């Protein structure tokens, strides 16, 4: 079925996409389980956007994340769609979903978890942060300190009080 999304014309095989996700296993790490537990409720707009492409928000192919204090910064959440990009304007799609300003990139140059599907493209979502809601502590190796960026460090040295 051919659909248009924000300057992109997509030919989606909905049956194959649903079948793909029925056969696809989910990651069981705590950060991913935290995402699965609350993504649908926290992001109804994104849930609808992905559903229009035949994708369930709670079944990503790959998540890149880091735990920060009492929340998780999901650097990216990637989904696979069976089909083809017929026309692409090269721009990301920005949506506001509640308090979150999300960026969505639709392309066919990325293969989450090295999936082996002939006609497919990926939908990758950026800028997701969620509170930690699992009834378990952060894994020790996943917790990171927020550090100032390079420019903040340079400015602090230049403009420090004497």
Question: Tens of pLDDT along 113-133?
Answer: 556 667 888 999 999 999 999
- CA of 153: how far to CAs of 36, 73, 77, 145, 146, in Å? 36, 22, 30, 15, 13
Token pair 């537990």 is found at 37
Q: What is the pTM of this model?
A: 0.81
Per-residue pLDDT, 155: 46
Instruction: Retrieve residue 110's tokens.
Output: 């990325």
pLDDT in tens, 65-78: 988 878 999 999 99
Per DSSP, the residues of 28-52 read: -SHHHHHHHHHHHHH-HHHHHHHHT
Instruction: Retrieve residue 70's tokens.
Output: 């009492």
* Nearest Cα residue to 147 out of 92, 31, 68: 68
Task: Report angle CA 62, 36, 145 to the nearest 5 degrees.
Answer: 70
Domain that holds residue 52: 2-158
- Rounded to whole angstroms, how far apart are CA atoms 76 and 119? 22
Residue that wins the pLDDT comparison between 100 and 147: 100
How far is C-alpha 137 from the chain's CA centre? 23
Please tell me the total count of domains within the chain. 1
């Amino acid at each position: 079925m051919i659909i248009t999304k924000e300057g992109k014309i997509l030919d989606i095989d909905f049956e194959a996409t649903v079948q793909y996700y029925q056969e696809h296993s989910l990651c069981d790490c705590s950060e991913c389980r935290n995402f699965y537990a609350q993504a649908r409720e926290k992001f109804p707009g994104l849930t609808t956007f992905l559903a229009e492409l035949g994708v369930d928000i709670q079944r990503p192919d790959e998540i890149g994340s880091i735990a920060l204090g009492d929340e998780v910064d999901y650097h990216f959440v990637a989904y696979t769609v069976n089909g083809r990009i017929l026309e692409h304007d090269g721009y990301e799609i920005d949506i506001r979903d509640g308090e979150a300003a999300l960026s969505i990139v639709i392309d066919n140059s990325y293969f989450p978890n090295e999936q082996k599907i002939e006609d497919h493209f990926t939908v990758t979502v950026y800028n997701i942060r969620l509170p930690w809601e699992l009834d378990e502590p952060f894994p020790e190796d996943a917790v990171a300190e927020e550090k100032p960026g390079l420019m903040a460090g340079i400015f602090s040295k230049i403009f420090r009080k004497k």
